[in-house]
Amino acid sequence: MTLSRLVSLALLLLPSAAHAQILGFTPAHATSEAAVEEKLKSIPTPDEERRQHRIFTAEPHIAGSKRNNELAEYIRDEWKKQGLEDIIIRRYDVYGTNPKSASLEMIAPTHYAATLREAPIPGDDDSKNPAISGAWLGMSISGEVTAPVIYSHSGNPEDYDLLRKNGISVKGKIVLVRYSNPYSYRGFKALTAQREGAAAILIYSDPAESGYTKGKVDPNGPWGPEYYIQRGAITYDFMVPGDPQTPGWASVPGAKRIPIEDAVSAPKIMALPLSWHDAKPLLENMDGPVAPENWQGGLPIQYHLGGERVKAHLKIEMENGLQPYYVVEGRIRGSDLPDEWIVLGNHRDAWVFGGVDPSSGTASMMELTRALGELKKQGRRPRRTIVVCSWDGEEVGLTGSTEWGEQFVDELRAKGVAYINVDEATSGPNFHGQAVASLAPMLEETARTLQDPSGKSLFDAWKATIDKEKEGQRSGPFDSGAANSSLADTRIGSGSDHTVFLNFVGMPVIGLGFEGDYGVYHSAYDDFFWMNHFGDAGYKYHTLMSQLWGVTTLRLANADLLPFDFATYASNIRQFVNDLAKANEKNMEGRTPSSAQSSEARQPPLARVTWGQPPPATAMWGRAPSPVQSGEARQPLDLKPILAAIDNFEAAGHHLNESLARKLASGPIDPKLASALNHGMMQLERNWLNRDGIPGRPWFKHILYGARFTYAHLELPGLTEAVEKQDWPTAKQQAEILQHALEKNTKLLNELNSTLKP
């Protein structure tokens, strides 16, 4: 906690200890807010969560399918009954792929025909549903190839380097890679294989990552069984999300479209997922060098790199073309401030039944909208407008939300207060909350008012989870993402529907989810049975999600002065800059510029490294030995101006926190003044946008938050990528953009502060 936050809280405590205190509320309004929140929390029930969950998980509902479209109509009809307003189903005609047929046969040294199906699970009737698809990956191209199979580990660039060192080229061959060792988005694996000249990529689920090595498998435990197949899309949506043929504008019917050949996010490689049952015959017949220790997996065989011995015949037929996706939109109009919007969203489409992903979130959304409708019927309309959306095609390329965000970008920039995303509501009991740093304190405060099923407050349960993660993963592949000892993960990557709001529109975002052991992701086994046996048998976490999502929404919707904390934002940005400086120093020690330059999108996991003390504020780059292979002299990049600008921004944030707290404590606020302050605070996030986007990826406009091609979070994306490539002219330019944005926002905060002078 920063000093000014202590001061703020102390000021809030002043008027009367009997009043509730909530960030952004006057004492009187905090009391009425607490009462509304209590009412809201009392409405969602585990039985209703379960009933809704069953409706959404009854049948497979992939994007574009009849069932998924029927569910859109179901949501519309339910929302009408619940009392939502202005309900509309919006149609987008987008490029999509559907599987027609796929076959994989090993033709040497022996014959094996891959099943490409998931065997039914005893006791789980849904797993026998004939509508379950076979193995496929969205956006694979059609084709046919007969070629040797090479084991390429996780399919990341360094894996191909190792193959090359062993004299193995994958040109024209089929590469077999596993899903996550370490994790990288499957689309990044596909792009990497495409760049390496492979003819096709097979991605399988090794038991070491999601199966028996981890624990008991379905139906005896939460992990993936022998026939578990992780479907998914390989869309290069890290370049530009949404419909590949409408980059930056909405795919409303009749919209202008670019040819698919020109679409940078459309893959140009065949791809298929496999269960370990189907991967094992390939792996155990391979010759070539023994794979290194960290390439060995959980199967009881010795993994080899492969050579000419194993040959396979792969044939994939896809149906490509335009198909309609449907976004359901509803709202509850605000009583006082209808033109200030809190936007909520969850995607509806699932690879199969979507037990966790996304139907747990959809069930929680339906119980939340029931609660909001109930409050409205009781005359407790929110002060601001709450807009709720059921997205389509998230699984394909974040498609529905992206098209919707692109369609309403101007309105959202004028009216959007924040976007709250729930994708997977629950796969277990461990809370994971993400927030743009300015909203981290309010999210943590909100967690204090909710009760976790463990008996602790949600805040305490959350803290216990973070402490455990820090303990267990200090040297592991993932950090908790939290910065500045906050609980909220303020390092926000991509991979869900918040992306368009943060990176394109410039709205602050929050993401909520409960997590646990979950080895059936994107498979037919991610279903109602799994949820009722392993994920959330009593639907208590679903219920808690509806409550949490609702209370967070109401605080933003009802606040007198929006509960942003820009001092916290500033100290977060300072940490991003310090981390970058530290990583760069490390980088300079170990690499020559030319090797760094050749590794475009190589994506060293910067923020996953646990650093000790932050470097001194005078950190300066350029002290490494001068480049030996580059003709250009190194241009040192001086961070001092940025760090000074952050100091100023932080000071302005502290002052504003204090002034806002004083104003709130003094009672009712003049609506004109409140409006000016709130609109100023809403503008702040927009000011982090750079019109030209980050270098090479113009769609991604936010200069603080981005994502790597792997989907991993990437802070200060333009600056970081330039530094990693040691492209100093670009780094200098990106540093200036950052500095100007900091100065602009400091000025904005100082102006807001001056309107509050006592």
Nearer residue to Zn ion within complex by CB, 222 or 358: 358
Binding mask of the shown chain, residues 294 to 333, with x at each position contacting Zn ion by CB under 5 A = ----------------------------------------
244 or 358: whose CB is closer to Zn ion? 358
Q: Is 645 helix (H, G, I), strand (E, B) or coil?
A: helix
Q: What's the closest the beta carbon of residue 206 comes to Zn ion, in angstroms?
A: 22
CB 249 within 8 A of CB 258: no
Is the CB of residue 530 less than 8 Å from the CB of residue 520?
Answer: yes
CA gap 389, 450 in Å, rounded: 24
Q: Which stretch binds Zn ion (CB under 5 A): 355-363, 479-487, 571-579, 654-662?
A: 355-363
Based on CB atoms, which residue is closest to Zn ion, 237 or 357? Answer: 357
Q: Which residue has the tokens 């155990």?
A: 284
- How near is the Cβ of 740 to Zn ion at its closest, in Å? 36
Closer Cβ to Zn ion, 329 or 357, answer by number? 357
Site for Zn ion in 405-424 (CB under 5 A): 423
Q: Containing H/E element for 148?
A: strand 143-151
Q: Which is nearer to Zn ion, 82 or 359 (CB)?
A: 359
- In the bound complex, what is the minimum distance in angstroms from residue 56's beta carbon to Zn ion? 13
**In 565-668, alpha helices (H):** 566-590, 593-597, 640-665
Stretch that binds Zn ion, among 43-51, 352-360, 399-407, 689-697 (CB under 5 A): 352-360
- Which lies closer to Zn ion via its Cβ, residue 498 or residue 574? 498
Closest contact distance (angstroms) between CB of 347 and Zn ion is 6
Q: What are phi and psi of 630, to 5 degrees?
A: -95, 140
Contact 392, 404 (CB under 8 A): no
Please state at what angle helix 540-558 crosses helix 46-57, rounded to 10 degrees.
Answer: 100
357 binds Zn ion (CB under 5 A): yes
In the beta sheet, which residues pair with residue 98? 319
Give the contacts of 328 (CB within 8 A, at least 6 positions apart). 72, 75, 76, 79, 87, 88, 89, 90, 348, 389, 390
Q: Minimum distance from CB of 676 to Zn ion (Å)? A: 39
**Contact region for Zn ion (CB under 5 A) — 233-241, 358-366, 378-386, 449-457?**
358-366
C-alpha triplet 14, 16, 19: angle, nearest 5° = 120
- Give the shortest CB-652-to-Zn ion separation in angstroms: 38
- Burial bucket for residue 309 (CB in 10 Å: 0-12, 13-18, 19+): middle
Q: Rounded to whole angstroms, how far apart are CA atoms 653 and 661?
A: 12
**What residues from 423 to 452 belong to the interface with Zn ion (CB under 5 A)?**
423
- Of the two residues 354 and 441, which places its CB atom closer to Zn ion in the complex? 354
Task: Work out which of 134, 358, 393, 511 binds Zn ion, going by CB under 5 A.
Answer: 358
In the complex, what is the shortest distance from the CB of residue 357 to Zn ion, in angstroms, rounded to a whole number?
A: 4
Which listed range, 64-72, 308-316, 353-361, 425-433, lies at the site for Zn ion (CB under 5 A)? 353-361
Q: Which DSSP helix (H) or strand (E) runs through 330?
A: strand 311-332
Size of the site for Zn ion (CB under 5 A): 3
How wide is the angle at C-alpha 503 spanned by C-alphas 203 and 2, nearest 5°?
Answer: 110
Type of residue found at 434: Q
Smallest distance from Zn ion to CB 138, Å: 13
Nearest to 34 by CA among 420, 510, 419, 380: 380
Segment lying near Zn ion (by CB under 5 A), choices 118-126, 214-222, 290-298, 349-357: 349-357
Provide, rounded to whole angstroms, the least separation between the CB of residue 356 and Zn ion. 8
Closest CB to Zn ion among residues 21, 390: 390
The pair of three-digit structure tokens given for residue 491, joined into one six-digit string = 């390092």
Q: Of 431 and 728, which has the nearer Cβ to Zn ion?
A: 431
Task: Point out which residues bind Zn ion (CB under 5 A).
Answer: 357-358, 423
